[in-house]
Amino acid sequence: MQRVVKVVMVRDDDKVLILRRSKKVISDTSPWKWDLPGGHVEKDEALDDALDREVWEETSLDLGKATKIYTDEKTTFFAAYDWEGKISLSQEHSDFKWIKPENITNYNIGDKIEAVITVDDYKPKKVVFEVKNIFDDGTYLLKPKYYPSLRYAEIIKIKFAQNVELDDMLFNTKGMSNAMQQSERICFSDYDLKESAVEDVRI
């Protein structure tokens, strides 16, 4: 497994730097996603060297001393308080922000969120949502990659994966279903229009 290095760059006002991945870059990772600076470690490359290289490639910043703060199975995280230069983004990223650390989850647009959807009493099905937007009040706009037919559904339950900090959802769609069926009956009905009922309108 190729290791990844990330850095929490802390400004004097305690805000940290996040970068937004560019839609133009073809990648197996989520476009538009906000993330910390950093990237993959090349073969035989030291972690410190990889971090310096990635930060330079992504931001044009010359990173100063960085301290290792956490390591998991794939990623090593560093913290840095000193750097030189002015931010100039590469093609891999389209935007950057300095934010309060507690607000970082509000910027993960493009993330893939796993959930289980249950329609009435049918067998639950796995579904993947993409985060299309996150509004100022913390509301998520999610677009499902796939979902079962909801045409005649009455009760829809959506349960998110345990690592997703979103409340499970329950919808009662019986009224909506009845309205859709009524609309279908209207749309597919045959109407005999008498000649007198059609007005000749000229502008």
For residue 80, give the CATH number of its domain: 3.90.79.10
User: Which pTM was predicted?
Assistant: 0.58
* pLDDT band per the 50, 70, 90 thresholds, residue 193: very low
* Of the residues 105, 126, 154, the one at which a domain ends: 105
Q: Are residues 17 and 83 in the same domain?
A: yes
Q: State what percent of residues in the chain have pLDDT above 90.
A: 36
Q: Are residues 94 and 124 in the same domain?
A: no
Lowest mean pLDDT, pick from 22-31, 96-105, 117-126, 149-158: 22-31
Q: Are residues 101 and 119 in the same domain?
A: no
Q: Are residues 15 and 94 in the same domain?
A: yes
Asked if residue 168 belongs to a domain, the reply is: yes
Residue 137 has pLDDT above 50, yes or no: yes
**pLDDT tens sequence across 107-127:** 776 677 788 888 888 888 888
More confident site: 44 or 112: 44
Q: Are residues 40 and 17 in the same domain?
A: yes
Q: Are residues 132 and 39 in the same domain?
A: no
> According to the per-residue pLDDT averaged within each range, which of 78-82, 130-134, 192-196, 198-202 is highest?
78-82
**Which token pair is 147?**
């979902």
Residue 160 has pLDDT above 50, yes or no: yes
* Of the residues 105, 136, 154, the one at which a domain ends: 105
User: How much is the average pLDDT of 171-192?
Assistant: 58
Asked if residue 201 belongs to a domain, the reply is: no
Which pLDDT belongs to residue 181? 61
> Which residues span the domain enclosing 161?
112-187
* Of the residues 105, 131, 148, the one at which a domain ends: 105
The average confidence (pLDDT) of the chain is 79
Residue 82 has pLDDT above 90, yes or no: yes
Q: Are residues 82 and 118 in the same domain?
A: no
User: How much is the average pLDDT of 131-154?
Assistant: 72
Asked if residue 198 belongs to a domain, the reply is: no
What does each C-alpha distance from 46 to 5, 40, 51, 71, 167 come to in angstroms?
10, 11, 9, 15, 41
Asked if residue 197 belongs to a domain, the reply is: no
Q: Which position has the token pair 């750097």?
A: 83
More confident site: 126 or 164: 126
Asked if residue 26 belongs to a domain, the reply is: yes
Domain count, the chain: 2
